[in-house]
Structure 1
Amino acid sequence: MKTQIKRRKLLQALGLGAIGASAFPWACTGPGTSENKEKVPILRFAYLTDMHIEPGIGAEEGVKKCIDHILSKEKPVDFFVNGGDLIMDALGKNEEETEAQWAVWRSIRTAYPDLKFFHCIGNHDVWGKTPHEEKFPGKAWVMREHGLERPYYTFESKGWHFIVLDSTHQKEDGTWYTAKLDTAQRAWLEKTLQNIPADKPVLIISHIPILGATPFLDGDNAQTGDWIVPGAWMHIDAKSLINLFHQHPNVKVCISGHIHLVESLLYQNVHYHCCGAVSGNWWNDEPYEMTHKGYGLFELFEDGSHTFEYVEYDKKA
């Protein structure tokens, strides 16, 4: 497709590596990924991001259809990861409206009581345009729903170390929001990476992309004659984080959502995958920028390699 060729040439010129964006299921390839079909993954998980649940728009049925699609596969997953923006929006909603959205999620969880979920917080999960909480502004409600003590954390599974970050923070002027790590979280991340054995591969989850090409392409970002990427679309501390990851070669993969588009980008030996949305075009039947409703499937290998496939579960003919 002509537009995809132009995008690829642009990224090569910028030295950003390779992007893959398609409305069809695909798997990443390239240095550091597994291309040996005889390899056996030690871990498989499903990545569901940007579900944007609320009553009355078919979201509950859609999410259940997505989960059923995953459960129907011959190869089971070890767990599920929610990449954020689980509910449609709490930023501009009152308590009653926000409760109605979370009630739909609780109904879904009741239908699948045995599923293991790890949660990342998205910007739309935060309650209130002017959050009040002193410690984690606006995030007390979503943390309570997910059983989190803080909005960033770490866990291990089958030889891989996972780090879940909190991307969304108030701007310096007190308005909401920009993509970055606050000072405390940055210090925690540095210490966490130092304490992980150098031979243990690391996968990092953030709702907003740390680094990506899709933020350049989502909307008319060149209308001024320059590329303008909002700080709410990609981490403004990307360069600093990239330098940190460079000090820890066991950081292999960073995955995100937020943009509702699919891409894979390789930079400085780290794979950055942005996954399309479970809600697609916010539960409209038409795809969003050629990207249909879907979820990510990740296979992780003992040698630190991985595969990523974007699976469309509800593509219309």
Structure 2
Amino acid sequence: MKSLITPHTRHSAALLSLVLAMSFFSCEPEKEVQRVRFGLISDVHLPTMHDSEVRIRAFVDSMEIAQPDFLIELGDLVTPAPQYQSLYDIWDGYLGEKYSVIGNHEMDGGYGLEQVLEHRKLERSYYHFEKNGFQFLVLDGNDKRTPDEKGYRNYIGAEQQAWLRETLSRVQGPVVIFSHQSIGPLGAMHNGEEIRQILETHNASSPESPVIACFNGHLHYDDARQVNGIWYVHVNSAAYFWMGEEYEHIRYSEEVDEGFRWIKYTAPYRDPLFAVVEISSDGEIIIHGKQSEYVGPSPWDLGFPETDREAIRPAISDRVLHVK
């Protein structure tokens, strides 16, 4: 019997097989890209600035329009002092999801950590929450290195380190860390290198749930740098760069200076600074920041040292960061 299979039918059969194979694979569900958006502000220092109310109000109003998944302030917002409650109420009045980090200035005026936690409605100063498949860890850099240590602190102690290791061991999904003091290479954390080692050890053993970024305030810097696969992002102050008493300069008026005696030691930003951050599970971090200018002379006009000049600017820079 003559074969019914011809070169043409063989070609058609092969093409049909290819089409069927492509159809099969195209039916496999693609891995869904997860995304999260959050509003971010740091170091408002209510009420160091005479226009603090304007600055925190501008942030809250903008976030009510942007509608991110949550807000977070990275510390040094305000103490629990009753005379500042009306300023804090602007932040607290935001009806969406919001979180706080404890800064070193939250305890100014003789307030203790327990009073600050009660004021912020927090059970403790370090904690974990989840949003859209992302894991967020809030750390407290105000632990004591020694029982009798006085003044401002920049340390994460053994108990908190144990919590950090345990929490990292059980979370599922990309991890983002918030702190006030920096645990990155450009920072003031006394044991930052030790904390970074904990994060890097976790990433080596749990590549499916890596720490991808750490956001901090405190230094009033605008900076982002990647170290061993983790981004360390400095979020600039909403209000000013602190210079110190040797760079005293009257920026506004004698009347303002009389009521707000710390302003003359700062380089204030004309506009309030804050950001919206978007993170996707395919490894992209987008920071939508704000640009401003100094009120009066810049730090360099007053002879401020050139150290870290690239990070000292009146801005939170727009950035697109890629996770390796």
Give me the TM-score of the superposition, normalised by structure 1.
0.67
- Quick one: distance in 1 between partners of 2:238 and 2:82? 21
- Quick one: distance in 1 between partners of 2:158 and 2:128? 17
- Check conservation: 2:133, 2:174, Cα contact below 8 A: yes
- Check conservation: 2:41, 2:73, Cα contact below 8 A: yes
SS of 2:240's partner is coil
Q: Which residue of 2 aligns with 1:189?
A: 164
Q: Which residue of 1 aligns with 2:222?
A: 262
Q: Does 1:204 align with 2:177?
A: yes
* CA drift at 1:65: 1.6
- Quick one: distance in 2 between partners of 1:285 and 1:308? 31
Q: Does 1:121 align with 2:102?
A: yes
Give the partner amino acid of 1:245: L
Q: Does 1:248 align with 2:229?
A: no
- Quick one: distance in 2 between partners of 1:270 and 1:55? 33
* CA drift at 1:68: 2.2
What residue ranges of structure 2 are gaps of 5+ in the alignment?
Answer: 1-31, 204-209, 243-259, 297-324
Give the partner amino acid of 2:59: C
Which of 190, 196, 205 pairs up with 1:236? Answer: 190
Q: Does 1:67 align with 2:60?
A: yes
Q: Which residue of 2 aligns with 1:169?
A: 143
Q: Which residue of 1 aligns with 2:73?
A: 82
Change (3 A) 1:149 1:241: same
SS of 1:145's partner is helix
Give the partner amino acid of 1:77: P
Q: Which residue of 1 aligns with 2:321?
A: none
Q: Deviations over 1:267-312 (max 9, x none)?
A: 0100000001112347969984989641122111022432223224
Change (3 A) 1:312 1:72: farther
- Check conservation: 2:35, 2:280, Cα contact below 8 A: yes
Q: Percent identity?
A: 24
Change (3 A) 1:289 1:65: closer
* CA drift at 1:313: 7.1
Q: Deviations over 1:88-123 (max 9, x none)?
A: xx5xxxx8xx2212342024433x3x1321111000
- Check conservation: 1:47, 1:82, Cα contact below 8 A: yes
- Check conservation: 2:267, 2:295, Cα contact below 8 A: no
- Check conservation: 2:145, 2:155, Cα contact below 8 A: no
1:49-68 counterparts in 2 under 5 A? Answer: 49-54=42-47, 57-68=50-61
* CA drift at 1:315: 7.7
Give the partner amino acid of 2:106: D
Q: Which residue of 1 aligns with 2:128?
A: 154
Which of 16, 28, 40 pairs up with 1:47? Answer: 40
Q: Which residue of 2 aligns with 1:277?
A: 237
- Quick one: distance in 1 between partners of 2:50 and 2:141? 27
- Quick one: distance in 2 between partners of 1:117 and 1:315? 29
* CA drift at 1:314: 8.3
- Check conservation: 1:251, 1:270, Cα contact below 8 A: yes
- Check conservation: 1:43, 1:158, Cα contact below 8 A: yes
Which structure carries more relative contact order (alpha carbon 8 Å, separation 6+)?
1
* CA drift at 1:237: 1.1
Q: Does 1:180 align with 2:155?
A: yes
- Check conservation: 1:169, 1:176, Cα contact below 8 A: no
What residue ranges of structure 1 are gaps of 5+ in the alignment?
Answer: 1-38, 132-137, 216-233
- Between Structure 1 and Structure 2, how many residues are aligned? 239
SS of 1:273's partner is strand
Change (3 A) 1:288 1:264: farther
SS of 1:178's partner is coil
- Quick one: distance in 2 between partners of 1:109 and 1:40? 32
Q: Which residue of 2 aligns with 1:305?
A: 284
Give me the TM-score of the superposition, normalised by structure 2.
0.65
Q: Deviations over 1:215-261 (max 9, x none)?
A: 5xxxxxxxxxxxxxxxxxx1111111111111222010000001111
* Structure 1, 286-295 or 305-314: larger mean CA deviation: 286-295
- Quick one: distance in 1 between partners of 2:231 and 2:270? 20
- Quick one: distance in 1 between partners of 2:291 and 2:265? 13
* Structure 1, 138-147 or 168-177: larger mean CA deviation: 168-177
Q: Deviations over 1:158-205 (max 9, x none)?
A: 0100000011133523302221112211111111111113xx100000
SS of 2:118's partner is helix
Q: Which residue of 1 aligns with 2:85?
A: 102
Q: Point out the structure with the larger helix share.
A: 2
